[in-house]
Amino acid sequence: MALLMACAMLVAAADDAHAQGAPAPRSWADEVLYFVLIDRFADGDPGNNAGVDRGNPGGWHGGDLKGLTQQLDELRDLGVTALWINPVQMQQKRGMPAQAPGVPSFRHEGFHGYWVHDFEAMEPRFGTEADLKELVEQAHRRGIRVLLDVVVNHTGYTSIYADRKTAADEGWVRVGEGNCEVEPVTCAVGGLPDLKTEIAEVRDHVIGANIALARRAGVDGFRIDTYKHVPGNVWAEHRRRTRAELGPGFFLLAEYWGGTAQSLDGFFERDEVDAGFDFSFKGSCEAWVQGRGRSVAYGAYLRGRHRVRPGYVLAHYLSSHDEPMALATLGGDKDRFRLCVALQMTSLGLPVIYYGEEVARGGHEWPFNRNDMPWGARDILPGKGVARDEAMRDFYQRLIRIRAEHPALRRGDYTLLTQPQDATLAFARHDAASGDRVLVLANRDERAASVDLALPEGWPNGALTDRIGGAAIEVVQGRIQARIGAKSALVLAATPPKAAR
């Protein structure tokens, strides 16, 4: 009976996805993922703006699911193929007084979605369940997959679960217990009430509520918050249930704080998730473009990311809602930032764009890493009038297109090429299945640099084109001579493959 029910649910989930026009199955390693904090992006329904205070960087600013849906063509035009949105369940009713640098009167609200009040209800400021379903359907029509962020570890500081008891009269949450550095599973992350997911009744409720919402909305996967702080047996059960109830292709991306190809491997070996965030990419790129560390060491680091277990994916980013914005960390130097963008889009893994990075959104450390999406002169709140850099967007668009056109950049191997000068980095990517080859040259110096390189064995002679700037460079007798501009990169390839994906 249980097997029949599971099969029936699997078929129903597949039917739902088909009815909503879900994008054809493709590898998540081929996607470009765009992360949006809904409240900060676009306001499409002024009727759900209760309590909006745009002057408070920790308050509600009015963005919602309808607004995001209205801007999906903006994302499609950029080249985005997958969208990650913050949790949408009802948030705690009252904000929390907090200390924020440079903000004398700061009150922290649940605009980010991680302070769940009720797992079985929608946050009305984000919109309705129908709005969520419409977002997913409209995204699918544009070939964009949708990842829903989910929380399993904790609730908001105040929630309906604070006083809930199990049948054995045990509380559902533990409050203010444990040191996360010593005991990550039972600690209260950020002082948030820790759900006792070791109790079947508790984890069934939370996992079941998340799965039910995903099934009704038709999303393509979960981004899983605070993965480190939940017991492994819970994740094994979570994997089993999502596959049985949402389909075998339902994607799971884990936020394991500090994750790398090496530290995530145990989760991949046990097949608990499909992907994890590579927390090392951001800092490594920022350091290299600013001249810290040897280029050969950074190149070896990029090569080491290819040791990820086959069939699993590393998601790499430059900024996030939990870390400082990369552009500000780089002192506002847009050339160095573009260099990191070029390296992100030519490196193995699932590149993640944090909303507004593509138009040089300002902000640095919390809470200003969660400021409004810049819309310039467009009549879109809350970021109407906030300046945006369209040239930066054009650069992102070009790099995303290059990545889409070259299988070597999405799944090819990696060869680090020896350089006589330390300011430059050179590596080759090769996809054996398609025969596609790409050569990446980067220069972090304040001055232009010349390189004279021997290419890997098998590299054919002939003309290569810089896919960023358009310059043509010849390969002669297995060698290439090129000049790289200051703080810039070349992405050299022959004619793009006819089949882009």
With cut-offs at 50, 70 and 90, classify the pLDDT of residue 156: very high
Longest dimension (CA), the chain: 78
| Buried/exposed code over 349-387 (b: 16+ C-beta within 10 A; e: otherwise) | bbbbbbbbbbbbbbbeebbbbbbbbbbeeeebbbbbebe
Structure tokens at 345: 């889009």
| pLDDT given at position 351 | 98
| Type of residue at 413 | D
Looking at the predicted structure, is the pLDDT value of residue 4 above 50? no
CA atoms of 386 and 162, how far apart (whole Å): 40
Query: How many Cα atoms within 13 Å fall on the side-chain side of residue 23?
Result: 23
**Using the 8-state DSSP alphabet, how is residue 273 labeled?**
-
The CATH fold of domain 2-405: TIM Barrel (3.20.20)
> What is the architecture of the domain spanning 413-493?
Sandwich (2.60)
Please state the rounded mean pLDDT for residues 232-254.
97
Angle at 321 between CA 257 and CA 286, to 5 degrees: 75
- Sorted by sequence, the CB contacts under 8 Å of residue 427 that are 6+ apart come out as 299, 302, 303, 414, 415, 416, 417, 439, 440
| pLDDT given at position 496 | 65
Looking at the predicted structure, is the pLDDT value of residue 238 above 90? yes
Please state the rounded mean pLDDT for residues 169-183.
91
What pLDDT digit, counting tens, does each position of 64-112 carry?
A: 999 999 999 999 999 999 999 999 999 998 877 777 777 877 899 999 9
Domain segments of the chain as ranges: 2-405, 413-493
Alpha helices (H) along 231-362: 232-246, 265-269, 280-289, 295-304, 326-329, 334-345
Please state the rounded mean pLDDT for residues 356-378.
97
What pLDDT digit, counting tens, does each position of 439-477 carry?
A: 999 999 999 999 999 999 889 999 999 999 999 999 999
What pLDDT digit, counting tens, does each position of 272-316 carry?
A: 999 999 999 999 999 999 999 999 999 999 999 999 999 999 999
Looking at the predicted structure, is the pLDDT value of residue 11 above 50? no
Q: Residue 136: which H helix or E strand, with range?
A: helix 129-141
CB 367 within 8 A of CB 57: yes
pTM: 0.94
Please state the rounded mean pLDDT for residues 428-433.
96
| pLDDT given at position 498 | 53
Strands 413-416 and 424-431 come out as antiparallel
Please state the rounded mean pLDDT for residues 324-348.
98
Of the candidates 82, 75, 71, the residue with the CA atom closest to the CA atom of residue 42: 71
Share of the chain above pLDDT 70, in %: 94
Please state the rounded mean pLDDT for residues 335-355.
98
C-alpha dihedral, 57 to 61 to 66 to 69, nearest 10°: -30
- Sorted by sequence, the CB contacts under 8 Å of residue 345 that are 6+ apart come out as 351, 399, 400, 402, 403, 409
**Using the 8-state DSSP alphabet, how is residue 55 labeled?**
T
- Is the four-CA dihedral 75, 78, 80, 84 of positive or negative sign? negative
Q: Residue 465: which H helix or E strand, with range?
A: strand 462-466
| pLDDT given at position 17 | 44
Mean pLDDT of the chain: 93
Looking at the predicted structure, is the pLDDT value of residue 402 above 60? yes
Q: Is the peptide bond before 382 cis (omega within 30 degrees of 0)?
A: yes
Least confident among 3-7, 187-191, 455-459: 3-7
Looking at the predicted structure, is the pLDDT value of residue 16 above 90? no
Residue bearing tokens 């962020």: 149
